[in-house]
Structure 1
């Protein structure tokens, strides 16, 4: 059951946008993910500033178009989501400039889109979304997606990839080195960077413990 109060003080907005928020059965991009990103975003916004209403709408709609990780359309997912979000907000009577601000934040949040965030709200959304890709939650999501893509956990003969080319489509654990460990260095806000440093260390500790156990 959806609980709009979890998105306070934007309960009314959340109620209107929640039916559009997630477009697939992907448990790594579901309403739980959106709520975690919302909490991250509000935590950063409380320190950094920015328009919280624009940010809340962008968070709620940033994954409104679902494109699987292994799809050739993956790099276009955020642009497609921004386009759909714009239509939704027009129907709700939003101002054109505010819609454009939400759309830019959505487009720029994606790692694969490679679009630089130009507004504070876009920077915060990118940071908030990437925080959910690292730390313990990030590790859990990584393995979930790997299972969804039918990947093996690791190469049993060279799990750390010391003597082979890393392949995160074939081995889940390779994704830590090919992408996840690189994220903390690209955060946009001071608050986001501080939060990322803690989660990045947790992720590295998890990786080390995983390798030790196998």
Structure 2
């Protein structure tokens, strides 16, 4: 579903959305706080510009990036909570049903769990192609840039889901969820399904999260810019994990 809207949203709608998101995320840990939203949003704008989206499509990407973590299932426990909350909020701002549907469609495709749907995590079946707008917000959530750095050397770009910030967010989230740091007796789950990923459970450790999700993101980037950015940060995570295991086993 490619968006062909021709106009941006009124400033008061965007301002209201910013206030709404700040309030919604006020009690969320630092792995998914408003600072994370700001980085995703800035990166989404940059990627949208690079991909040549028109003003209307860029506005939808911006709004979806802003709202994408509202009542996320990882915190709310409800897979439908984000769509319901965003729909109610946008309807209250006077947006028409078609526009609301476009925004919620983009948001629904952002999460890693959607990559697992239909393939049982094995990659044996292809995941349906995303719209360009959804691909941009998805990549923006996984690899974030400083605003204005799109054409600077790749090594100066900042990533949120992978790389140094991604590592910090991973441990922050694991701590907030009281996950075991590492247990060599609990191997990473192979062929992880959407249901298993969402369930978490006793098998979920913070270090396993690298193998079950973070190290897979490089291959799942949808835009060429996102794929290039991901490569170096992926290598950094591999180096970190090697050092972690060496220290755990008394080898470093």
Shift of 1:52: 1.3
Q: Which residue does the alignment assign to 1:6? A: none
Gaps of 5+ in 2: 1-9, 118-127, 144-159, 190-199
TM-fit CA distance, 1:59: 0.9
Structure 2 residue aligned with 1:151 = 179
RMSD over aligned Cα, in angstroms? 2.5
Judge conservation of contact 1:104–1:117 (CA < 8 Å) in 2.
no
Does the alignment pair 1:165 with 2:187? yes
- Provide closer, same or farther for how the CA distance between residues 205 and 69 of structure 1 changes in structure 2, counting only shifts above 3 A: farther
In structure 2, the partner of 1:5 is none
Matched, 1:191 2:225: yes
Task: Determine whether 1:29 maps to 2:32.
Answer: yes
- Assess if the C-alpha contact under 8 Å between 2:139 and 2:221 holds in 1: yes
TM-score normalised over the length of structure 2:
0.68
Post-superposition shift, 1:81? 1.3
- State how 1:32-47 maps to structure 2 within 5 Å: 32-47=35-50
Residue equivalent to 1:135 = 163
Separation (CA, whole Å) in 2 of partners of 1:70 and 1:57: 21
Match for residue 58 of structure 2 among 52, 56, 62: 52
Q: Helix, strand or coil for the counterpart of 2:181? A: coil
What is the CA distance between 1:96 and its match in structure 2? Answer: 3.2
TM-score (norm 1): 0.79
Q: Which protein has greater RCO, CA pairs closer than 8 Å, 6+ apart?
A: 2
The residue aligned with 1:111 is 112
Q: Using the TM superposition, give the Cα deviation of residue 182 of structure 1 relative to its aligned residue in structure 2, in angstroms.
A: 0.7
Q: What residue is the counterpart of 1:80 in the other structure?
A: 81
Q: Secondary structure at the match of 1:105?
A: helix
SS at match of 1:110: coil
Deviates more, 1:105-114 or 1:22-31: 22-31
- The number of residues matched between the two structures is 194
Query: For residues 13 and 166 of structure 1, do their structure 2 counterparts lie closer, same or farther at Cα, with a shift above 3 Å needed?
Result: same
Give SS of 1:68's match.
Answer: helix
* Structure (1 or 2) with the greater helix fraction: 1
Distance in 2 (CA, whole Å) between partners of 1:84 and 1:122 is 19
